[in-house]
Amino acid sequence: MLSSYAKREWLTIIAIGAMLTVTFCIVGQWLLAVLALLATLAVLSFFRDPERRIPTQRGAFVSPADGRVSSVHEVEHFEPFDGPAVCIRIFLSVLNVHVNRSPCHGVVKSITHRPGKHLNALNPESAEVNEATLMVLAHPFQGHPIAAVRQVAGMLARTIVNAARVDQTLQRGQRFGIIKLGSTTELYLPKAHQPQVVVNVGERVYAGTTVLANVHPPRPGKLPRSGEAESESESLHAGDSAAGDHADADTAGAARAG
């Protein structure tokens, strides 16, 4: 299965690959024909979009991207949360699946594109200065932010697609976009929600499948330092059990950079 977010690219690749393969066959260059076919299949694999089995346990936040965890750190002040946050950064190589998935059940509160540089994604500075798109997810009933996903462009990956819409409800593991040819994806969680990160730096993760962190409601009478009423108990995770690998019917509003 190939991603619908890169349909123009893989249709072009198929057309060129087919033309070269047929041309080499006509002139009797069988080795070149085989090489052209293999090269076409290899490039098409960049846009693959496999089905995933989405975890259903309450309070789980899954990975928004395939790749390796390159950093787990705290951010002193993350503006969309108006407070501190925990960031889990994932590096995507050109060999990884590039489709992004929602880490949780939530409502899209905002989608913000930031112009920037295109440094190599292996450079730690790239996550801070490169072109990026930030999507903030809010609690489906109470409306406060519960997570944010940042798609970061790289030296080769200069096209970010975010097909979600503001006020759209995303289920855990639902596809919402793609970063073409790799780069970096970050998951931010409010520190006030006391997320328990369950992955380590260097660990390989898979979008929609690997649990990155668990969030449990605070005990009654013990509210977070931010002072917000976080005693939502069951409602914080409402709708998690319904999370699944939904088809993306809406592709309008795609944010394209580059």
Considering its fold, how many domains does the chain have in total? 2
Residue 51, both tokens: 């089905």
pLDDT in tens, the chain (258 residues): 878 877 777 788 889 989 999 999 999 899 999 999 998 888 888 888 999 999 999 999 999 999 999 999 999 999 999 999 999 999 988 889 989 999 999 999 999 998 877 776 666 677 777 889 999 999 998 889 999 999 998 776 567 899 999 999 999 999 999 987 768 899 999 999 999 999 999 999 999 999 999 997 555 444 444 444 333 434 444 444 444 444 343 433 443 333
Residues 199, 93 within the same domain: yes
Dist. CA 26–CA 180, nearest whole Å: 33
Output the domain CATH number for residue 65: 2.70.70.10
Q: Are residues 89 and 203 in the same domain?
A: yes
Q: Whole-model pTM above 0.85?
A: no
**Could you tell me if 42 and 76 lie in one domain?**
no
Spell out the residues 6+ positions from residue 4 whose beta carbon is closer than 8 angstroms to its own: 49, 248, 251
Distance spanning both ends of the chain, measured CA to CA = 25
User: Do 13 and 103 fall within a single domain?
Assistant: no
Query: Residue 41: which residues within 8 A CB-CB, separation 6 or more?
Result: 17
**Same structural domain, 78 and 188:** yes
State whether 21 and 94 are in the same domain.
no
Residues 197, 222, single domain; the answer is: yes
User: 54 lies in a domain?
Assistant: no
Q: What residues make up the domain containing 8?
A: 4-47
- 258 within a domain of the structure (yes/no): no
Output the CA torsion sign for 91, 92, 97, 102.
positive
Known catalytic residues are: 183
89 and 199 share one domain: yes
Beginning with the edge strand found earlier in the chain, give each strand of the sheet holding 160-162 in spatial order.
Answer: 99-101, 175-179, 160-162
